[in-house]
């Protein structure tokens, strides 16, 4: 069953990545001849009908076990509570396997909490239609999927009626327009499988441009762990800042440079939030975060670079 779930999760990520809605989910499940694991309640409401501010995300004592986990295994999330107010940047850091990605899966209801509640705009996500949640979320992940289609077409999945000027403005803000403009066929360049192969950093910036086009109130950001050179890193960082501005951003951060400005950093360890605060609060506390930060700074010094090194935080 685990084998079956993995490609399904990959597809779910893709579906979110594309910033599209029900039609695409339906087609994917039809293709797989499967019923989606998460079904809307018969009386489900839309996010617009929810009582709280759109852009507020809250976890209340969330316990979560993956459906295929052993019955006696420790839950992957074990009593996670936090609030991200509209427009805030809330970052999750911690060791590999701590549960950070799982938090990002639960917010758009790709999985449901085993216990406790996940609230979106003040409503339990179980009472909301998944389509309306997805409509309000943008994602920039490590695995940006590009269709075998032109760059322009790949961007328009986020906003089908976008004008050329809108595409260019989004790409300029995502620091990718100058690269696309340099291609012989510009926005008509075919990418994806068998097409022009964009680098990881370039694909990530296309994902950022999609978020800017879609303009969702909530952004989920899974920062790339792969090493980018310092120049690419700065370029991607600036693009991410443009994408996060004015939105609630939940990010999995691997680099100090990304979390320093966050409104709130939650340190996740073995499925629990063990420390919370701003960068300065957490450094002063001298706990796990301070330890991770010190390791990262030491690694950066060894590399002879500034603190923007991709050592895992």
Residues near ligand ATP (CB under 6 A): 2, 5, 9, 66, 68-69, 76, 94, 96-102
Compute the least distance from the CB of residue 93 to ligand ATP, in Å: 9
Compute the least distance from the CB of residue 282 to ligand ATP, in Å: 17
Compute the least distance from the CB of residue 128 to ligand ATP, in Å: 22
Name the residue nearer to ligand ATP (CB basis): 44 or 299. Answer: 299
Name the residue nearer to ligand ATP (CB basis): 15 or 151. Answer: 15
Compute the least distance from the CB of residue 109 to ligand ATP, in Å: 15
What residues pair up with 249 in beta bridges, in sequence order? Answer: 89, 219
**Is 106 in contact with 250 (CB distance < 8 Å)?**
no
Burial of 46 (0-12, 13-18, 19+ CB in 10 A): middle
Quick one: tokens of 18?
Answer: 């594309």
Closest by CA position to 275, among listed 261, 289, 263, 262: 289
Name the residue nearer to ligand ATP (CB basis): 66 or 147. Answer: 66
Burial call 111-138: b when 16+ CB within 10 Å, e when fewer: bbbeebbbbbbebbbebbbbbbbbbbbb
Compute the least distance from the CB of residue 100 to ligand ATP, in Å: 4
- Other CB atoms closer than 10 Å to residue 6's CB: what's the count? 11
The dihedral of CA 267, 273, 279, 281: what is its sign?
Answer: negative
Compute the least distance from the CB of residue 152 to ligand ATP, in Å: 32
Q: Say what angle helices 200-214 and 164-173 make with each other, to 10 degrees.
A: 120
Name the residue nearer to ligand ATP (CB basis): 5 or 24. Answer: 5
**Is 125 in contact with 111 (CB distance < 8 Å)?**
no
CA atoms within 13 A of residue 256's CA, in its CB half-sphere = 21
Name the residue nearer to ligand ATP (CB basis): 76 or 144. Answer: 76
Name the residue nearer to ligand ATP (CB basis): 65 or 136. Answer: 65
């Amino acid at each position: 069953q685990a084998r079956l779930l993995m490609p399904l999760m990959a597809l779910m990520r893709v579906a979110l990545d594309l910033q599209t809605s029900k039609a695409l989910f339906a087609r994917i499940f039809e293709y797989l001849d499967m019923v989606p694991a998460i079904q809307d309640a018969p009386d489900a409401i839309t996010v617009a009908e929810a009582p709280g501010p759109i852009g507020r995300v809250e976890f209340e004592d969330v316990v979560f076990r993956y459906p295929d986990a052993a019955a006696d295994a420790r839950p992957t999330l074990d009593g996670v509570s936090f609030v991200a107010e509209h427009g805030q940047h809330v970052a999750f850091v911690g060791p590999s396997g701590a549960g950070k990605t799982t938090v990002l899966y639960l917010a758009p209801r790709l999985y449901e909490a085993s216990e406790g509640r996940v609230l979106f705009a003040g409503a339990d996500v179980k009472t909301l239609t998944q389509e309306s949640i997805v409509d309000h979320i943008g994602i920039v992940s490590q695995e940006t999927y590009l269709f075998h289609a032109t760059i322009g077409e790949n961007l328009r999945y986020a906003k089908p009626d976008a004008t050329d000027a809108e595409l260019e403005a989004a790409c300029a803000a995502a620091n990718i327009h100058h690269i696309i403009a340099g291609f012989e066929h510009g926005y008509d360049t075919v990418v994806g499988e068998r097409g022009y192969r964009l680098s990881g950093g370039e694909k990530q910036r296309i994902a950022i441009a999609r978020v800017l086009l879609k303009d969702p109130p909530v952004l989920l950001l899974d920062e790339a762990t792969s090493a980018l050179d310092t120049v690419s890193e700065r370029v991607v960082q600036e693009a991410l800042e443009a994408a996060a501005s004015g939105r609630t951003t939940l990010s999995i951060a691997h680099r100090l440079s990304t979390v320093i400005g966050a409104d709130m950093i939650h340190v996740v360890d073995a499925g629990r939030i063990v420390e919370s605060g701003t960068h300065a609060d957490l450094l002063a506390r001298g706990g796990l975060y301070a330890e991770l930060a010190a390791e990262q700074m030491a690694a950066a010094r060894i590399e002879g670079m500034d603190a923007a090194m991709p050592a895992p935080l």
